[in-house]
Structure 1
Amino acid sequence: MKSLRFYFDPISPYAALAFARLPEALQGLSYSVDYVPVLFAAMLKAGGQKGPAEIPAKRAWTYRQIAWAAHRLQIPLQLPAAHPFNPLPLLRLAWACAPTGQTPSRWVVERVFNHVWQGGADAADAVRLAALTQDLAPAQAPEGEPVKQALREATEAAIAQGVFGVPTIAVDDKLFWGLDALDMLAAYLRDDPWFVSAAWEAAAATPVGVQRKT
Protein backbone atom coordinates (compact mmCIF):
# COMPACT_ATOMS: atom_id res chain seq x y z
CA MET A 1 0.00 0.00 0.00
CA LYS A 2 1.28 3.44 -0.95
CA SER A 3 0.97 6.41 1.41
CA LEU A 4 -0.10 9.66 -0.26
CA ARG A 5 -0.04 13.21 1.06
CA PHE A 6 -2.66 15.44 -0.53
CA TYR A 7 -1.62 19.07 -0.10
CA PHE A 8 -4.52 21.49 -0.48
CA ASP A 9 -5.86 24.94 0.25
CA PRO A 10 -9.66 25.38 0.05
CA ILE A 11 -9.10 28.57 -1.94
CA SER A 12 -8.22 26.41 -4.96
CA PRO A 13 -11.07 25.11 -7.15
CA TYR A 14 -8.63 22.67 -8.73
CA ALA A 15 -7.93 21.23 -5.29
CA ALA A 16 -11.68 20.88 -4.71
CA LEU A 17 -12.16 19.01 -7.98
CA ALA A 18 -9.09 16.81 -7.44
CA PHE A 19 -10.34 15.94 -3.95
CA ALA A 20 -13.72 14.90 -5.36
CA ARG A 21 -12.25 12.92 -8.24
CA LEU A 22 -9.44 11.16 -6.32
CA PRO A 23 -11.38 7.98 -5.33
CA GLU A 24 -12.51 7.43 -8.92
CA ALA A 25 -9.10 8.20 -10.40
CA LEU A 26 -7.40 5.69 -8.09
CA GLN A 27 -10.14 3.04 -8.10
CA GLY A 28 -8.78 -0.47 -7.60
CA LEU A 29 -5.44 0.71 -6.21
CA SER A 30 -4.13 0.17 -2.68
CA TYR A 31 -3.30 3.45 -0.97
CA SER A 32 -3.89 5.63 2.07
CA VAL A 33 -4.17 9.42 2.08
CA ASP A 34 -3.18 12.12 4.52
CA TYR A 35 -4.99 15.36 3.69
CA VAL A 36 -2.64 18.22 4.52
CA PRO A 37 -3.96 21.81 4.68
CA VAL A 38 -1.33 24.33 3.54
CA LEU A 39 -1.32 28.04 2.76
CA PHE A 40 -1.14 28.48 -1.02
CA ALA A 41 -0.26 32.18 -0.67
CA ALA A 42 2.94 31.24 1.17
CA MET A 43 3.92 28.98 -1.73
CA LEU A 44 3.32 31.78 -4.21
CA LYS A 45 5.48 34.09 -2.13
CA ALA A 46 8.24 31.51 -1.81
CA GLY A 47 8.29 31.00 -5.57
CA GLY A 48 7.90 34.66 -6.49
CA GLN A 49 4.65 33.93 -8.31
CA LYS A 50 1.26 35.56 -8.70
CA GLY A 51 -1.87 33.50 -8.18
CA PRO A 52 -4.18 32.83 -11.15
CA ALA A 53 -6.81 35.18 -9.72
CA GLU A 54 -4.27 38.04 -9.57
CA ILE A 55 -3.88 38.14 -13.37
CA PRO A 56 -7.12 39.48 -14.92
CA ALA A 57 -7.12 37.51 -18.17
CA LYS A 58 -5.98 34.32 -16.41
CA ARG A 59 -8.60 34.86 -13.69
CA ALA A 60 -11.45 34.91 -16.23
CA TRP A 61 -10.11 31.84 -18.02
CA THR A 62 -9.55 29.93 -14.77
CA TYR A 63 -13.16 30.34 -13.67
CA ARG A 64 -14.50 29.35 -17.07
CA GLN A 65 -12.19 26.33 -17.28
CA ILE A 66 -13.13 25.23 -13.77
CA ALA A 67 -16.83 25.52 -14.58
CA TRP A 68 -16.26 23.37 -17.67
CA ALA A 69 -14.18 20.80 -15.77
CA ALA A 70 -16.88 20.46 -13.11
CA HIS A 71 -19.49 20.03 -15.85
CA ARG A 72 -17.40 17.42 -17.69
CA LEU A 73 -16.57 15.47 -14.54
CA GLN A 74 -20.16 15.80 -13.25
CA ILE A 75 -18.94 17.22 -9.94
CA PRO A 76 -21.23 19.80 -8.29
CA LEU A 77 -19.24 23.03 -8.01
CA GLN A 78 -20.24 26.66 -7.88
CA LEU A 79 -17.96 29.65 -7.52
CA PRO A 80 -18.28 31.38 -4.15
CA ALA A 81 -19.77 34.88 -3.94
CA ALA A 82 -16.28 36.39 -4.05
CA HIS A 83 -12.90 34.92 -4.96
CA PRO A 84 -10.14 34.99 -3.86
CA PHE A 85 -10.86 35.23 -0.16
CA ASN A 86 -8.86 34.77 3.03
CA PRO A 87 -8.62 30.99 3.56
CA LEU A 88 -6.81 31.12 6.92
CA PRO A 89 -9.91 30.55 9.09
CA LEU A 90 -10.82 27.44 7.09
CA LEU A 91 -7.26 26.10 7.06
CA ARG A 92 -6.98 26.55 10.81
CA LEU A 93 -10.41 25.00 11.35
CA ALA A 94 -9.34 21.92 9.40
CA TRP A 95 -6.19 21.56 11.51
CA ALA A 96 -8.19 22.15 14.69
CA CYS A 97 -10.33 19.11 13.80
CA ALA A 98 -7.30 16.84 13.41
CA PRO A 99 -6.31 14.49 16.23
CA THR A 100 -2.96 15.40 17.80
CA GLY A 101 -0.12 14.39 15.52
CA GLN A 102 -2.46 13.56 12.65
CA THR A 103 -4.05 15.30 9.67
CA PRO A 104 -7.77 16.08 9.19
CA SER A 105 -10.10 13.31 8.08
CA ARG A 106 -11.51 13.17 4.57
CA TRP A 107 -14.95 13.96 6.03
CA VAL A 108 -13.68 17.20 7.58
CA VAL A 109 -11.88 18.22 4.40
CA GLU A 110 -15.00 17.50 2.36
CA ARG A 111 -17.07 19.75 4.61
CA VAL A 112 -14.53 22.55 4.23
CA PHE A 113 -14.48 22.25 0.44
CA ASN A 114 -18.29 22.14 0.31
CA HIS A 115 -18.45 25.28 2.42
CA VAL A 116 -16.52 27.12 -0.29
CA TRP A 117 -17.48 25.42 -3.54
CA GLN A 118 -21.14 24.51 -3.16
CA GLY A 119 -24.04 26.95 -3.02
CA GLY A 120 -22.30 30.08 -4.26
CA ALA A 121 -22.25 31.77 -0.83
CA ASP A 122 -19.54 33.93 0.74
CA ALA A 123 -16.79 31.59 1.93
CA ALA A 124 -15.48 34.19 4.38
CA ASP A 125 -18.83 35.11 5.92
CA ALA A 126 -18.45 35.13 9.71
CA VAL A 127 -21.89 33.64 10.37
CA ARG A 128 -21.29 30.76 7.97
CA LEU A 129 -17.83 30.14 9.43
CA ALA A 130 -19.29 30.03 12.94
CA ALA A 131 -21.93 27.53 11.81
CA LEU A 132 -19.34 25.31 10.16
CA THR A 133 -17.15 25.45 13.25
CA GLN A 134 -20.08 24.44 15.45
CA ASP A 135 -20.95 21.60 13.08
CA LEU A 136 -17.40 20.24 12.95
CA ALA A 137 -16.86 20.67 16.71
CA PRO A 138 -13.06 20.91 16.57
CA ALA A 139 -11.13 19.41 19.48
CA GLN A 140 -8.75 22.39 19.48
CA ALA A 141 -9.30 26.13 19.26
CA PRO A 142 -8.90 27.15 15.59
CA GLU A 143 -7.21 30.41 16.63
CA GLY A 144 -4.94 28.73 19.18
CA GLU A 145 -1.19 28.79 18.74
CA PRO A 146 -0.83 24.96 18.36
CA VAL A 147 -3.18 25.02 15.37
CA LYS A 148 -1.45 28.02 13.80
CA GLN A 149 1.89 26.30 14.30
CA ALA A 150 0.63 23.09 12.69
CA LEU A 151 -0.39 25.04 9.58
CA ARG A 152 2.91 26.93 9.45
CA GLU A 153 4.96 23.76 9.84
CA ALA A 154 2.96 21.85 7.24
CA THR A 155 3.31 24.70 4.74
CA GLU A 156 7.03 25.12 5.36
CA ALA A 157 7.63 21.37 5.08
CA ALA A 158 5.70 21.24 1.80
CA ILE A 159 7.71 24.13 0.34
CA ALA A 160 10.95 22.47 1.46
CA GLN A 161 9.82 19.31 -0.33
CA GLY A 162 9.36 21.25 -3.56
CA VAL A 163 5.60 21.79 -3.47
CA PHE A 164 4.80 25.03 -5.32
CA GLY A 165 1.04 24.82 -5.82
CA VAL A 166 -2.17 23.04 -4.90
CA PRO A 167 -3.36 20.42 -5.25
CA THR A 168 -0.13 18.46 -5.03
CA ILE A 169 0.02 14.78 -4.13
CA ALA A 170 3.29 13.44 -2.77
CA VAL A 171 4.12 9.75 -2.92
CA ASP A 172 7.55 8.22 -2.40
CA ASP A 173 9.98 10.85 -3.74
CA LYS A 174 7.61 12.18 -6.41
CA LEU A 175 5.20 15.10 -6.58
CA PHE A 176 2.09 15.19 -8.77
CA TRP A 177 0.66 18.69 -9.19
CA GLY A 178 -2.78 19.64 -10.41
CA LEU A 179 -6.13 18.13 -11.23
CA ASP A 180 -4.81 16.86 -14.56
CA ALA A 181 -2.01 14.91 -12.83
CA LEU A 182 -4.37 12.37 -11.27
CA ASP A 183 -4.14 10.02 -14.25
CA MET A 184 -0.35 10.30 -14.13
CA LEU A 185 -0.45 9.49 -10.40
CA ALA A 186 -2.63 6.45 -11.08
CA ALA A 187 -0.13 5.23 -13.68
CA TYR A 188 2.69 5.58 -11.16
CA LEU A 189 0.75 3.60 -8.56
CA ARG A 190 0.18 0.90 -11.18
CA ASP A 191 3.97 0.63 -11.61
CA ASP A 192 4.11 2.07 -15.11
CA PRO A 193 7.73 1.43 -16.16
CA TRP A 194 8.03 4.97 -17.58
CA PHE A 195 8.61 6.29 -14.07
CA VAL A 196 11.76 4.19 -13.57
CA SER A 197 13.08 4.90 -17.06
CA ALA A 198 15.43 7.72 -17.95
CA ALA A 199 12.49 9.80 -19.19
CA TRP A 200 11.41 11.03 -15.74
CA GLU A 201 14.79 12.59 -14.87
CA ALA A 202 15.60 13.65 -18.41
CA ALA A 203 12.47 15.78 -18.69
CA ALA A 204 13.43 17.82 -15.62
CA ALA A 205 17.04 18.16 -16.79
CA THR A 206 16.17 20.17 -19.92
CA PRO A 207 18.59 23.14 -20.07
CA VAL A 208 17.33 26.69 -19.68
CA GLY A 209 17.64 28.51 -22.99
CA VAL A 210 16.91 32.07 -21.87
CA GLN A 211 15.79 33.81 -18.69
CA ARG A 212 13.40 36.72 -18.59
CA LYS A 213 14.78 39.87 -17.03
CA THR A 214 12.87 41.14 -14.01
Structure 2
Amino acid sequence: MKHIRFYFDPISPYAALAFERLPEALAGQSYSVDYVPILFAALLKAGGQKGPAEIPAKRAWTYRQIAWHAHQLQIPMQLPTPHPFNPLALLRLAWASAEPGRTPSRLAVERIFRHVWRGAGADPNEPQRLADLTQDLALVQDPEGEPVKQALRGATDAALAAGVFGVPTLELEGRLFWGLDALPMVAACLQGDAWFDGGAWEAAGAAPPGVQRG
Protein backbone atom coordinates (compact mmCIF):
# COMPACT_ATOMS: atom_id res chain seq x y z
CA MET A 1 0.00 0.00 0.00
CA LYS A 2 1.34 3.41 -0.98
CA HIS A 3 1.04 6.46 1.26
CA ILE A 4 -0.10 9.99 0.40
CA ARG A 5 0.25 13.18 2.41
CA PHE A 6 -2.47 15.67 1.52
CA TYR A 7 -1.38 19.19 2.49
CA PHE A 8 -4.26 21.64 2.76
CA ASP A 9 -5.60 24.86 4.21
CA PRO A 10 -9.42 25.22 4.44
CA ILE A 11 -9.12 28.71 2.95
CA SER A 12 -8.42 27.12 -0.46
CA PRO A 13 -11.42 26.21 -2.64
CA TYR A 14 -9.14 24.09 -4.80
CA ALA A 15 -8.15 22.09 -1.72
CA ALA A 16 -11.82 21.67 -0.81
CA LEU A 17 -12.66 20.35 -4.28
CA ALA A 18 -9.60 18.07 -4.39
CA PHE A 19 -10.57 16.67 -0.99
CA GLU A 20 -14.08 15.87 -2.21
CA ARG A 21 -12.82 14.43 -5.50
CA LEU A 22 -9.97 12.33 -4.09
CA PRO A 23 -11.80 9.02 -3.40
CA GLU A 24 -13.32 8.91 -6.88
CA ALA A 25 -10.14 10.07 -8.62
CA LEU A 26 -8.09 7.32 -6.96
CA ALA A 27 -10.75 4.58 -6.97
CA GLY A 28 -9.38 1.07 -7.29
CA GLN A 29 -5.91 1.97 -6.01
CA SER A 30 -4.31 0.78 -2.78
CA TYR A 31 -3.28 3.80 -0.72
CA SER A 32 -3.58 5.53 2.64
CA VAL A 33 -3.76 9.26 3.30
CA ASP A 34 -2.56 11.60 6.02
CA TYR A 35 -4.45 14.90 5.90
CA VAL A 36 -1.98 17.60 6.95
CA PRO A 37 -3.31 21.09 7.81
CA ILE A 38 -0.78 23.84 7.03
CA LEU A 39 -0.89 27.63 6.83
CA PHE A 40 -1.15 28.69 3.18
CA ALA A 41 -0.18 32.28 4.06
CA ALA A 42 3.21 31.02 5.26
CA LEU A 43 3.81 29.37 1.88
CA LEU A 44 2.94 32.62 0.11
CA LYS A 45 5.23 34.60 2.37
CA ALA A 46 8.12 32.19 1.84
CA GLY A 47 7.69 32.44 -1.93
CA GLY A 48 7.18 36.21 -1.97
CA GLN A 49 3.75 35.82 -3.53
CA LYS A 50 0.25 37.19 -3.18
CA GLY A 51 -2.73 34.86 -2.88
CA PRO A 52 -5.06 34.53 -5.89
CA ALA A 53 -7.80 36.48 -4.12
CA GLU A 54 -5.43 39.39 -3.45
CA ILE A 55 -5.07 40.21 -7.17
CA PRO A 56 -8.39 41.64 -8.48
CA ALA A 57 -8.40 40.11 -11.97
CA LYS A 58 -7.09 36.78 -10.69
CA ARG A 59 -9.64 36.86 -7.88
CA ALA A 60 -12.53 37.12 -10.36
CA TRP A 61 -11.11 34.32 -12.49
CA THR A 62 -10.47 32.08 -9.47
CA TYR A 63 -14.05 32.35 -8.26
CA ARG A 64 -15.42 31.72 -11.75
CA GLN A 65 -13.20 28.71 -12.26
CA ILE A 66 -14.11 27.27 -8.86
CA ALA A 67 -17.81 27.75 -9.58
CA TRP A 68 -17.32 25.95 -12.89
CA HIS A 69 -15.38 23.05 -11.33
CA ALA A 70 -18.04 22.66 -8.65
CA HIS A 71 -20.76 22.68 -11.31
CA GLN A 72 -18.91 20.20 -13.51
CA LEU A 73 -18.10 17.84 -10.64
CA GLN A 74 -21.59 18.23 -9.15
CA ILE A 75 -20.18 19.29 -5.79
CA PRO A 76 -22.36 21.82 -3.96
CA MET A 77 -20.22 24.78 -3.01
CA GLN A 78 -20.82 28.33 -1.81
CA LEU A 79 -18.20 31.05 -1.52
CA PRO A 80 -17.92 32.15 2.13
CA THR A 81 -18.15 35.79 3.08
CA PRO A 82 -15.58 37.13 3.63
CA HIS A 83 -12.98 35.47 1.45
CA PRO A 84 -10.10 35.41 1.97
CA PHE A 85 -10.52 35.03 5.73
CA ASN A 86 -8.16 34.14 8.55
CA PRO A 87 -8.09 30.30 8.68
CA LEU A 88 -6.01 30.02 11.84
CA ALA A 89 -8.88 28.99 14.13
CA LEU A 90 -9.96 26.25 11.71
CA LEU A 91 -6.41 24.95 11.28
CA ARG A 92 -6.01 24.70 15.04
CA LEU A 93 -9.36 22.95 15.36
CA ALA A 94 -8.19 20.43 12.77
CA TRP A 95 -5.05 19.61 14.74
CA ALA A 96 -6.97 19.62 18.02
CA SER A 97 -9.33 16.97 16.65
CA ALA A 98 -6.45 14.47 16.53
CA GLU A 99 -4.42 12.81 19.23
CA PRO A 100 -0.93 14.31 19.74
CA GLY A 101 1.44 13.09 17.08
CA ARG A 102 -1.35 12.15 14.69
CA THR A 103 -3.07 13.94 11.81
CA PRO A 104 -6.82 14.66 11.66
CA SER A 105 -9.22 12.05 10.35
CA ARG A 106 -10.89 12.39 6.98
CA LEU A 107 -14.21 12.90 8.77
CA ALA A 108 -12.86 15.82 10.80
CA VAL A 109 -11.34 17.42 7.72
CA GLU A 110 -14.59 16.94 5.83
CA ARG A 111 -16.52 18.74 8.54
CA ILE A 112 -14.10 21.66 8.45
CA PHE A 113 -14.13 21.98 4.67
CA ARG A 114 -17.92 21.80 4.56
CA HIS A 115 -18.18 24.33 7.38
CA VAL A 116 -16.38 26.76 5.05
CA TRP A 117 -17.57 25.76 1.59
CA ARG A 118 -21.10 24.48 2.24
CA GLY A 119 -22.09 27.11 4.75
CA ALA A 120 -24.51 29.06 2.52
CA GLY A 121 -21.92 31.82 2.23
CA ALA A 122 -21.67 32.46 5.96
CA ASP A 123 -18.53 33.76 7.69
CA PRO A 124 -16.38 30.73 8.68
CA ASN A 125 -15.21 32.63 11.78
CA GLU A 126 -18.63 33.68 13.04
CA PRO A 127 -18.44 32.84 16.78
CA GLN A 128 -21.58 30.71 17.04
CA ARG A 129 -20.70 28.75 13.91
CA LEU A 130 -17.20 28.13 15.27
CA ALA A 131 -18.66 27.02 18.59
CA ASP A 132 -20.99 24.59 16.82
CA LEU A 133 -18.13 23.20 14.75
CA THR A 134 -15.95 22.82 17.85
CA GLN A 135 -18.67 20.80 19.56
CA ASP A 136 -19.24 18.69 16.43
CA LEU A 137 -15.54 17.81 16.18
CA ALA A 138 -15.37 16.44 19.74
CA LEU A 139 -11.84 17.74 20.24
CA VAL A 140 -9.22 15.74 22.10
CA GLN A 141 -6.80 18.67 22.52
CA ASP A 142 -7.07 22.35 23.41
CA PRO A 143 -7.02 24.29 20.11
CA GLU A 144 -5.32 27.20 21.91
CA GLY A 145 -2.76 24.97 23.61
CA GLU A 146 0.91 25.08 22.72
CA PRO A 147 1.03 21.46 21.44
CA VAL A 148 -1.60 22.25 18.80
CA LYS A 149 0.09 25.51 17.80
CA GLN A 150 3.40 23.69 17.52
CA ALA A 151 1.84 20.92 15.44
CA LEU A 152 0.61 23.50 12.93
CA ARG A 153 3.93 25.35 12.88
CA GLY A 154 5.89 22.12 12.57
CA ALA A 155 3.73 20.78 9.74
CA THR A 156 3.98 24.06 7.84
CA ASP A 157 7.75 24.21 8.29
CA ALA A 158 8.09 20.58 7.19
CA ALA A 159 5.95 21.25 4.12
CA LEU A 160 8.14 24.20 3.17
CA ALA A 161 11.27 22.11 3.67
CA ALA A 162 9.80 19.44 1.38
CA GLY A 163 9.21 22.01 -1.37
CA VAL A 164 5.48 22.55 -0.95
CA PHE A 165 4.52 25.94 -2.38
CA GLY A 166 0.72 25.79 -2.60
CA VAL A 167 -2.40 23.93 -1.56
CA PRO A 168 -3.59 21.37 -2.18
CA THR A 169 -0.34 19.46 -2.56
CA LEU A 170 -0.23 15.67 -2.51
CA GLU A 171 3.07 14.01 -1.66
CA LEU A 172 3.54 10.48 -2.98
CA GLU A 173 6.86 8.63 -2.76
CA GLY A 174 8.78 11.89 -2.50
CA ARG A 175 7.03 13.49 -5.46
CA LEU A 176 4.87 16.59 -5.03
CA PHE A 177 1.64 17.01 -7.01
CA TRP A 178 0.05 20.46 -6.80
CA GLY A 179 -3.54 21.37 -7.42
CA LEU A 180 -6.93 19.90 -8.19
CA ASP A 181 -5.88 19.17 -11.77
CA ALA A 182 -2.96 17.03 -10.56
CA LEU A 183 -5.25 14.24 -9.33
CA PRO A 184 -5.02 12.28 -12.63
CA MET A 185 -1.21 12.41 -12.33
CA VAL A 186 -1.43 11.02 -8.79
CA ALA A 187 -3.70 8.23 -10.02
CA ALA A 188 -1.27 7.39 -12.83
CA CYS A 189 1.65 7.31 -10.39
CA LEU A 190 -0.27 4.98 -8.08
CA GLN A 191 -1.03 2.74 -11.06
CA GLY A 192 2.68 2.43 -11.84
CA ASP A 193 2.76 4.47 -15.04
CA ALA A 194 6.26 3.96 -16.47
CA TRP A 195 6.60 7.70 -17.19
CA PHE A 196 7.36 8.33 -13.54
CA ASP A 197 10.24 5.86 -13.36
CA GLY A 198 11.69 6.29 -16.83
CA GLY A 199 13.42 9.59 -16.23
CA ALA A 200 10.72 11.83 -17.69
CA TRP A 201 9.65 13.18 -14.29
CA GLU A 202 13.19 14.20 -13.41
CA ALA A 203 13.96 15.59 -16.85
CA ALA A 204 10.83 17.73 -16.98
CA GLY A 205 11.65 19.31 -13.62
CA ALA A 206 15.26 20.05 -14.53
CA ALA A 207 14.60 22.57 -17.29
CA PRO A 208 16.90 25.60 -16.83
CA PRO A 209 15.33 28.94 -15.90
CA GLY A 210 14.86 31.58 -18.56
CA VAL A 211 14.67 35.33 -18.06
CA GLN A 212 14.54 36.23 -14.38
CA ARG A 213 13.18 39.49 -12.99
CA GLY A 214 15.13 41.39 -10.39
Quick check: TM above 0.5? Answer: yes
Aligned-pair identity (%): 74
* TM-aligned CA deviation for residue 81 of structure 1: 1.7
2:97 maps to: 97
Cα distance in 1, alignment partners of residues 210 and 71 from structure 2:
39
Cα distance in 2, alignment partners of residues 137 and 107 from structure 1:
12
How much is the aligned-residue C-alpha RMSD, in angstroms? 0.7
Of stretches 12-21 and 92-101 in structure 1, the one that deviates more from structure 2 is: 92-101
State whether structure 2 residue 38 is matched by structure 1 residue 65.
Answer: no
Of stretches 135-144 and 173-182 in structure 1, the one that deviates more from structure 2 is: 135-144
* TM-aligned CA deviation for residue 68 of structure 1: 0.2
Deviations 1:71-95 (A, max 9, x none): 0011111101210000000000000
* TM-aligned CA deviation for residue 46 of structure 1: 0.8
* TM-aligned CA deviation for residue 206 of structure 1: 1.1
2:35 maps to: 35
Cα distance in 2, alignment partners of residues 208 and 139 from structure 1:
47
Cα distance in 1, alignment partners of residues 158 and 12 from structure 2:
19
* TM-aligned CA deviation for residue 5 of structure 1: 0.4
1:47 maps to: 47
* TM-aligned CA deviation for residue 127 of structure 1: 1.3
Cα distance in 2, alignment partners of residues 203 and 89 from structure 1:
39
Cα distance in 2, alignment partners of residues 75 and 29 from structure 1:
22
Q: What's the TM-score once normalised by structure 2's chain length?
A: 0.98
* TM-aligned CA deviation for residue 35 of structure 1: 0.3
Q: Per the alignment, in what secondary structure is the counterpart of residue 170 of structure 2?
A: strand
1:201 maps to: 202
1:122 maps to: 123
Of stretches 96-105 and 84-93 in structure 1, the one that deviates more from structure 2 is: 96-105
Cα distance in 2, alignment partners of residues 126 and 141 from structure 1:
17
1:157 maps to: 158
1:142 maps to: 143
2:190 maps to: 189
Moved over 4 A (4+): none
Q: Give 1:9-24 correspondences, 5 Å limit.
A: 9-24=9-24
Cα distance in 2, alignment partners of residues 73 and 32 from structure 1:
23
* TM-aligned CA deviation for residue 170 of structure 1: 0.4
Cα distance in 2, alignment partners of residues 209 and 85 from structure 1:
35
Cα distance in 1, alignment partners of residues 137 and 187 from structure 2:
31
Q: Which runs of 5+ in 1 are unaligned?
A: none
The amino acid across from 2:103 in the alignment is T
The amino acid across from 2:125 in the alignment is A
Q: What's the TM-score once normalised by structure 1's chain length?
A: 0.98
* TM-aligned CA deviation for residue 198 of structure 1: 2.2
Q: Which runs of 5+ in 2 are unaligned?
A: none
Cα distance in 2, alignment partners of residues 198 and 109 from structure 1:
35
Cα distance in 1, alignment partners of residues 33 and 197 from structure 2:
23
The amino acid across from 1:171 in the alignment is L
1:131 maps to: 132
Cα distance in 1, alignment partners of residues 192 and 172 from structure 2:
13
* TM-aligned CA deviation for residue 50 of structure 1: 0.8
Cα distance in 1, alignment partners of residues 12 and 20 from structure 2:
13
Cα distance in 2, alignment partners of residues 87 and 207 from structure 1:
36
Of stretches 1-10 and 117-126 in structure 1, the one that deviates more from structure 2 is: 117-126
Cα distance in 1, alignment partners of residues 210 and 168 from structure 2:
29
